[in-house]
Amino acid sequence: MGIFRTILALAVVLYHSGGIFGYDMTGGRASVECFYIISGFYMSVILNEKYRNGNLLYAFYSNRLLRLMPVYYSLLALKIILSFVFYLYKLFPYQTYTLQYFINFYEKMNMSTILFLIASNLLVFGQDICLFLGFDIQSGNLYFGINKDRAIPLVWFFNFLPHAWTLSIELCFYLIAPLIVRRRTVILIMLLLLSLSVRIYCYFLGFRSIWWTYAFFPFEMALFITGSLSYKLYRYILLNNTYNFKSFQIIAPILIAVTTFLYPLLPKTRSIRYFFDDNQLIYYCIVAISIPFLFILSKNIKFDRLIGELSYPIYLSHLIIIPFFGAPTVSDKSWTDILLIIILSIFLSIAILKIIIFPIEKYRQARIFHYKSPYDIASKS
C-alpha cells in the first residue's frame, strides 16, 4: 500500500515534469483523485478502529494537522527563501514566479486581497478557492468567477506551493470525516450518489471548467466516500476470509500494477456524458476494490510502510525541484533531466523524513499509544 502511494506521487512528478516521451503513468488528475480514495479508506480505518471514542476527536484533528502541516511549512519556507535569493541574483526565473507576481501586483491589491492571499499560503485552507477566483486590477478586489480568457493574473498563481490546493480539499474531508465514515453502508452509498448527482446537475448549469470537475470539494466527496466503502469491503473480508478472498490478495497487486503503469492505454472516451472519462472510472473502481487486499498484504511490512512515508513529501516538494530545470508541465525536458528531478525529489523527501516526519511521528504516536488499533495502523494515520 505504501509503495502504491509513492508510485502515485511519482506519477504526479512525471506529469509536472512534462513526461518522459509523453509517458506519465496515471498523470496528475488520476493520481490525485486516487489519493482521495486512499484517504477515505485510511480515515475510515482510523476513525473506526483508533478514535472510536467521540472524546478523541481533538486527538484526531490535531494529529491530522501534525501529519500535514510541519512538512508543508518547512517546504513553504524553503520555497520563499529560494524565491528571494534567486530573485535578487536573477537566477532560475521559474523559481521566482510567485514572488514576481506579488511584486508586480502588490500595489494594485487592497488590504483584504493581501490578507486573503497571505492566509491561503499560511493556512492552506482556501487554496482550492483560489482556483475559482479572479483578480480585478482596477479595484484591487477578488471576485468569484474563473477567468475564462485565462487573463493575468490568475489568483492561484499567488500560492508559493500552487499544488497544495489538494491539501485544502483533504483538510475539508478531515473536518467532516468523523460525521461520515462511521455511517452504515447504505448511508455512504446515498452520499456517494448525491455527490455524483450534484456534479452532473451543476454541469448542466454551466459549471464545466476543469476546476469544477477536479477541485470542487462537494464533487470530489464521491471519491473519499468510495474509499470509505472500500473500508466496508475490508471489514467484510476480515469477517469472511474465504479461499476466494485469499486468491484475490495475489490478483489485486498485479491488477493495480498493470493498470497503473499501462494507464495511458485505457480508453479515454466518455461513455457517460458530463461524468468521469472511461479510463478514470475503470481505474478508480479497480483501486477501490483492490485497496483492502493491498492493505491486508502490506500492513505489517515495515519496508512498505517506510516507502509510503515518502509519498507526501515527494508530492509536496517536487515543484520546488522542477523549476530548476524549466517550466512545470512543459514537455521540453530531456529524460535525463526528468530522471534527475525524480532522484532529487526523493533525496529531499528522505531528508524531510529524517528531520521532520520521524521526530513528529514519535510525538504523535506517544500521545495516543494506548489507543492503538489491533491492526497496527498507527504509522499510517
Q: What is the pLDDT of residues 7-25, one digit of tens each?
A: 999 999 999 999 998 899 9
Q: Which helix (H) or strand (E) holds 135?
A: strand 133-135
pLDDT at site 376? 41
Nearest CA to 210 out of 24, 17, 29, 11 is that of: 29
pLDDT at site 275? 77
pLDDT at site 140? 86
pLDDT tier, 352 (very low <50, low <70, confident <90, very high otherwise): very high
pLDDT at 118 over 60: yes
Neighbours of 38 (CB within 10 A): 26
DSSP, collapsed to helix, strand or coil, labels residue 144 as strand
pLDDT at 142 over 60: yes
For the ranges 192-201, 288-297, 369-378, which has the lowest average pLDDT?
A: 369-378
Give the Cα separation of 381 and 370 in Å (integer): 15
Give the Cα separation of 246 and 240 in Å (integer): 10
pLDDT at site 145? 74
pLDDT at site 54? 61
pLDDT at 151 over 80: no
Quote the DSSP letter at residue 151: P
Neighbours of 356 (CB within 10 A): 16
Angle 230-23-2 (CA atoms, 0-180°, nearest 5)? 35
pLDDT at 204 over 90: no
Q: What is the mean pLDDT of the chain?
A: 89
Which of residues 378 and 64 earns the better pLDDT score? 64
pLDDT at site 150? 53
Interval 154-175 mean pLDDT: 94
pLDDT at 112 over 70: yes
pLDDT at 114 over 60: yes
Interval 73-102 mean pLDDT: 95
For the ranges 143-152, 160-169, 248-257, 352-361, which has the lowest average pLDDT?
A: 143-152
Long-range contacts of 116-124 (CB under 8 A, 24+ apart): 116/142, 117/155, 117/158, 117/159, 120/158, 120/159, 121/76, 121/158, 121/159, 121/160, 121/161, 124/68, 124/69, 124/72, 124/164, 124/167, 124/168, 124/171
Number of H helices, E strands in the chain: 15, 2
pLDDT at site 225? 97
pLDDT tens-digit series, residues 237-267: 888 876 667 778 788 889 999 999 999 999 9
Q: Which helix (H) or strand (E) holds 143?
A: strand 142-144
pLDDT at site 374? 42
pLDDT at site 205? 85
pTM of this structure: 0.91
pLDDT tier, 304 (very low <50, low <70, confident <90, very high otherwise): very high
pLDDT tier, 116 (very low <50, low <70, confident <90, very high otherwise): very high
pLDDT at site 59? 84
pLDDT tier, 377 (very low <50, low <70, confident <90, very high otherwise): very low
Give the Cα separation of 35 and 208 in Å (integer): 23
